[in-house]
Amino acid sequence: MKKILSLLLALTLVITLAGCGGTSKTPKKIVVGATPVPHAEILKVAQEVLLEKGYELEIKEFTDYVQPNLSLQSGDLDANYFQHTPYLNDFNAEQKTDLVPIASIHYEPLGIYPGKTKTLDDLKDGAQVAIPNDTTNEARALLLLEAQGLIKVDPNAGLKATIRDIVENPKNLKFIEIEAAQLVRSLQDVDIAVINGNYAIQGGLNAMTDALAKEEKDSEAAVTYANILVVRRGDENREDLKALAEALQSEKVKKFIEDTYKGAVVPMF
């Protein structure tokens, strides 16, 4: 009996030591929503940086601009990374969400890409122009077209401008409002299209080499439309989310952006 008791005590001691004496810790998980390109790709680099800080990054990919915010608001995500501030402000107002940015990461130049018509000078009367159909990106597209002298937009419309705010249209351009993710596919059916940077990259296009015109990196648009890391209000000071922001603004991520996207994505830090 004494031998059995001794064995049991020894076994208990071994189990206790194994449970308490280990030095490894399970990394705390951060769940982030992102569109595939370039956001999820950039997050995969930040994932490596975060692991060194004791955090595991889980990336959930979305192919639209609505669900990542709804999933964040509902608590299914800890943060998301896919949008710019004007879009976020518009979304909060329309959907009654309460999401806030905690870091600016990069800027994607919006570009005008050739479809049936290969240069802006060749645009004929009544040419078809595809633009994003969400409020902030539609205004941004119209302002880029205005910068090329193709139209004039009511200055009072600002970032809420729609095709109804076009006050001069000398070429009688026909505007087709399309969901941003479908713009690349629309190119073969229209004369030109104004396409968001992330969807252009995903479709094999680069604003630096393929666009007929683009927003410049030193423009006001670069600051206004910088892509941001977003969290629920009240979570701004969470240590894990601060670590995520730092990882996304690390030198390793900056080098990856510059080497990979060749100017189609520009770091803002």
Evaluate whether residue 259 is within a structural domain: yes
How much is the pTM? 0.80
List average pLDDT for each run of 10 residues in the chain, which is 269 residues long.
47 43 70 97 98 97 96 98 95 97 96 98 98 93 96 93 98 97 96 95 94 87 92 98 98 98 93
Residue with tokens 């030193």: 218
pLDDT of residue 23: 43
Burial 148-157 (b: 16+ CB within 10 A, else e): eebbebeeeb
Instruction: Tell whether 257 and 198 lie within a shared domain.
Output: no
Write down the pLDDT at residue 27.
85
Q: What pLDDT, on a 0 to 100 scale, did the predictor assign at position 159?
A: 83
Task: Note the pLDDT of residue 135.
Answer: 85
In a domain, 204, yes or no: yes
Look at residue 25 in the predicted model and tell me its pLDDT. 65
Residue type, 60: K
Spatial contact of 164 and 118, defined as CB atoms under 8 Å apart: no
Domain count, the chain: 2
- State the Rg of the chain over Cα: 24
Q: Is residue 20 part of a domain?
A: no
Domain that holds residue 208: 111-215
**Domain assignment of residue 145, yes or no:** yes
Structure-block tokens of residue 103? 């870091």
